[in-house]
Amino acid sequence: MADDARVAFGALEIPRPYLLFLGDMTDPLDQKTAAGIHEWRPEWCVGQYRLTPETNSLGLVDMDPEQAVRAGAQTMVIGTATFGGRLPDAWEDIVIRALQAGLNVASGLHDRLSMRPRLAKVAAETGRKLYDVRGLPSGFNPQVGSGHPRTGNRLLTVGTDCAVGKKFTALSIERDMRARGINATFRATGQTGILISGGGVAIDSVVSDFLAGVVELLSPDNQADHWDVIEGQGSLFHPAYAAVSLGLLHGSQPDAFVVCHEAGRQEVLGYPDFAIPRLEECIELTVALGRRVNPAIRCAGISLNTASLSESARTDALAEIEQQIGLPCVDPAINGTGAIIANLGL
Amino acid sequence: MADDARVAFGALEIPRPYLLFLGDMTDPLDQKTAAGIHEWRPEWCVGQYRLTPETNSLGLVDMDPEQAVRAGAQTMVIGTATFGGRLPDAWEDIVIRALQAGLNVASGLHDRLSMRPRLAKVAAETGRKLYDVRGLPSGFNPQVGSGHPRTGNRLLTVGTDCAVGKKFTALSIERDMRARGINATFRATGQTGILISGGGVAIDSVVSDFLAGVVELLSPDNQADHWDVIEGQGSLFHPAYAAVSLGLLHGSQPDAFVVCHEAGRQEVLGYPDFAIPRLEECIELTVALGRRVNPAIRCAGISLNTASLSESARTDALAEIEQQIGLPCVDPAINGTGAIIANLGL
């Protein structure tokens, strides 16, 4: 089990650096995973592989798998979102070309590379590996949660909705903690975060009975001054995903949490009948549920995504929330997260 | 999708009546599934199949698969709990004998009959079916929750812990509602409940992203006077399983819930560091979370498992809780659930 956990959650990292495969996607939104890796880990990216001249560019050097191997790449990452998370059949040949060139191939699609017989066969023949970062490794035997307190410290990003900046905030806090000399580790809970950090588990694909237990394994005992910064998922107020958020909260046993919110969002994305909760409600419910596993849980601040606001509107929005909630409120992309870290007493 | 849902959740029922396979278990606790079916659906049980004279008897007629077929049995149900939910290898031959005799075979073990190549082959040859009631049917394509309100009425049993009587209470309410002429359907969410009712889904084996969505399918639109009585799982206060309970609560969108509790239990089973919540806390949290998907949610009463109490202690305990909470409190095994049904205004 301990070995399983190491394999699943990070000690066996995906070999780097990466060649980012961008497919034939012309819309940057369809390259979200690749863009996230490039933004957060530019030093891991030796180049990009575009199928057509019209494909959106991330500004990296264009190269094919053979050129990438010569440039030192170890793994080709499929950095695109496709309809329904499917691997287009035509891309099977591209994956095979990468394997034969000497690259491992990693993917965050629902559709698993390792389940495609042709790909599994070529991977075995070439001695390369296929990394399906969504789903638990085959043969991994999950366990149910224990509820036992763990050593070290944990911060979880929670949200008023999906897609409000929980991953961005957690990565920002890890970066800013490290810049202050704090021993911190980002813990990924979704496929893009896993590819950015080289470890973690896509908790949306864990069977519900094992959810809290898997999160416990993701954030094990650590040194007394260490902080795990755990990527949140969904929202406790989400009509489809609240269970995921609660399993993550209970398994994390966070000492502190940061509420992530997008300025101006009124309704749950895709669920127009569900209003976004007030920040106070979100704090109150997170504390009420989280104290079951960590009585000391507290809110450390608010992370506001202000991308849609003008500069003056942003300044007003941040000040207004600080006033209203009595906690630091920052846009990590503008202000960094120093005010939140300071509020942890660090 | 609609066809998927019918197949998964009940319209394709497991053919009855059943032959209950009791293995060589001498401890009645290891025959929990068979005992539950026999208690709640005696008319579905034509006989029992025991491997040894020492095997605990449920008091049914002993018969082997060939005799059971002559007695009209359609399906042999593996009604035992085994270590780790494994099918002992020696039982493969017994399953094959049953298939060859003309029986379908159903199992609630984690270990799936249909994944055993020998069993799958014989089932195909004999034209019989293997029913693995844990896990979604293969090929079933789950969907995420919609949060849309549905027609008809829903009651969910919730608990202060696991194994306090949520299934028993839900089955009792269905029985007592029907006895009063109310149009009611028990909705099973665990393997024993599925085998008792002939439909349902073992939600502990659903991937967390789809949990609420699968529960929505389990309890679809219905007539205005119809009640779904949904079997609860776990507890919102359970350090391992709270996520399962929340997904079930959100997917159920219950109009009413009944809190199930065992008299005298102080700690969560197997989690001595976690106190059982007070009934008031359990009601308050269920309302706080459930009103997100059904603002009219209300507690209809308390179901108290008093098996450990003397008759006078039972009477006192029930009266004390009614006084304390201001809602009907019954032990369904002693009092039935009429007081709770009356409190629904039915």
- Angstrom CA distances, A135 to A79, A112, A139, B165, stand at 17, 9, 11, 33
pLDDT band at B174 (very low <50, low <70, confident <90, very high): very high
Amino acid making up residue A35: A
In this complex, is the C-beta atom of A287 within 8 Å of any C-beta atom belonging to chain B? no
Closest by CA position to A119, among listed A131, A110, A134 = A131
Residues of B with Cβ-Cβ distance to A147 under 8 angstroms: 239-240, 271, 273-274
The answer to whether residue B7 scores a pLDDT higher than 70 is no
CA–centroid distance for A137 within its chain: 17
In this complex, is the C-beta atom of A88 within 8 Å of any C-beta atom belonging to chain B? no
Q: Which of B208, B209, B241 to mutate to test the interface with A (most CBs of A within 10 A)?
A: B208
Give me B97's structure tokens: 């004998």
Alpha-carbon distance B325 to nearest alpha carbon in chain A (angstroms): 21
- Rounded mean pLDDT of chain B? 93
CA atoms within 13 A on the CB side of B72: 6
Higher confidence at residue B123 or residue B112?
B123
In this complex, is the C-beta atom of B243 within 8 Å of any C-beta atom belonging to chain A? yes
The SS3 assignment for B162 reads: coil
Residues of A with Cβ-Cβ distance to B243 under 8 angstroms: 208, 211-212, 243-244, 246-247, 250
The answer to whether residue B11 scores a pLDDT higher than 60 is no
Amino acid making up residue A309: L
- Angstrom distance (rounded) from CA A223 to CA A225: 6
Residues of A with Cβ-Cβ distance to B237 under 8 angstroms: 292
In this complex, is the C-beta atom of B90 within 8 Å of any C-beta atom belonging to chain A? no
- Angstrom distance (rounded) from CA B239 to CA B236: 8
Residues of A with Cβ-Cβ distance to B286 under 8 angstroms: none
pLDDT band at B137 (very low <50, low <70, confident <90, very high): low
Alpha-carbon distance B213 to nearest alpha carbon in chain A (angstroms): 7
The count of other CB atoms within 10 Å of the CB of residue A308 is 11
- Residue A207 per-residue DSSP state: B
Question: In degrees, to the nearest 5, what angle opens at C-alpha A315 toward C-alphas A314 and A320?
Answer: 95
What pLDDT is stored for residue A11 in this prediction? 42
In this complex, is the C-beta atom of B213 within 8 Å of any C-beta atom belonging to chain A? yes
Mean pLDDT of A207-228: 94
pLDDT tens-digit readout, B176-220? 999 999 999 999 999 899 999 888 888 988 889 999 999 999 999
Give me B30's structure tokens: 């290891």
Amino acid making up residue A46: V
With contact defined as beta carbons under 8 Å apart, do B343 and B261 qualify?
no
Give me B61's structure tokens: 């007629």
The answer to whether residue A244 scores a pLDDT higher than 90 is yes
pLDDT tens-digit readout, A247-302? 999 999 999 999 999 999 999 999 999 999 999 999 999 999 999 999 999 999 99
Say whether A209 and B241 touch across the interface (CB within 8 A): yes
What pLDDT is stored for residue A9 in this prediction? 57
The SS3 assignment for A218 reads: helix
The answer to whether residue A2 scores a pLDDT higher than 50 is no
pLDDT tens-digit readout, A22-79? 999 999 888 989 999 999 999 999 999 999 999 999 999 999 999 999 999 999 999 9
Question: 3-state SS of chain B?
Answer: CHHHHHHHHCCCCCCCCEEEEEECCCCHHHHHHHHHHHHHCHHHEEEEEECCCCCCCCCCCECCHHHHHHCCCCEEEECCCCHHHCCCCHHHHHHHHHHHHCCEEEECCCCCHHHCHHHHHHHHHHCCCEEECCCCCCCCCCCCCCCCCCCCEEEEEEECCCCCCHHHHHHHHHHHHHHCCCCEEEECCCHHHHHHHCCCCCHHHCEHHHHHHHHHHHCCCCCCCCEEEECCCCCCCCCCCHHHHHHHHHHHCCCEEEEEEECCCCEECCEEEEECCCHHHHHHHHHHHHCCCCCCCEEEEEEEECCCCCHHHHHHHHHHHHHHHCCCEECHHHHCCHHHHHHCCC
Torsion region of B21: left, alpha or beta (phi above 0 gives left; psi -120 to 50 gives alpha): beta
Higher confidence at residue B6 or residue A293?
A293
Closest by CA position to B75, among listed B118, B30, B115, B41 = B41
The answer to whether residue A336 scores a pLDDT higher than 50 is yes
With contact defined as beta carbons under 8 Å apart, do A261 and A164 qualify?
yes
The count of other CB atoms within 10 Å of the CB of residue A139 is 7
Mean pLDDT of A214-225: 94
What pLDDT is stored for residue A7 in this prediction? 42
ipTM of the complex model: 0.92
In this complex, is the C-beta atom of B285 within 8 Å of any C-beta atom belonging to chain A? yes
Residues of B with Cβ-Cβ distance to A213 under 8 angstroms: 240
Closest by CA position to B21, among listed B93, B124, B117, B120 = B93
Side-by-side strand order, sheet with A104-107: A45-50, A18-23, A75-78, A104-107, A130-132
What percentage of chain A reaches a pLDDT higher than 90? Answer: 83
The answer to whether residue B162 scores a pLDDT higher than 80 is yes
Amino acid making up residue B251: G
Q: Which residue of B has its CA nearest to A245?
A: B243
The answer to whether residue B5 scores a pLDDT higher than 50 is no
Residues of B with Cβ-Cβ distance to A271 under 8 angstroms: 146-147
What's this model's pTM, rounded to 2 decimal places? 0.92
- Angstrom CA distances, A103 to A13, A38, B41, B117, stand at 15, 19, 59, 35
The SS3 assignment for A302 reads: strand
pLDDT tens-digit readout, B31-89? 989 999 999 999 999 999 999 999 999 999 999 999 999 999 999 999 998 777 789 99
pLDDT tens-digit readout, A92-148? 999 999 999 999 999 988 888 999 999 999 999 999 999 988 877 666 777 899 999
- Rounded mean pLDDT of chain A? 93
- Angstrom distance (rounded) from CA A200 to CA B294: 35
Q: Which domains are assigned to chain B?
A: 2-132 (3.40.50.720), 153-343 (3.40.50.300)
pLDDT tens-digit readout, A5-28? 444 455 447 899 999 999 999 998
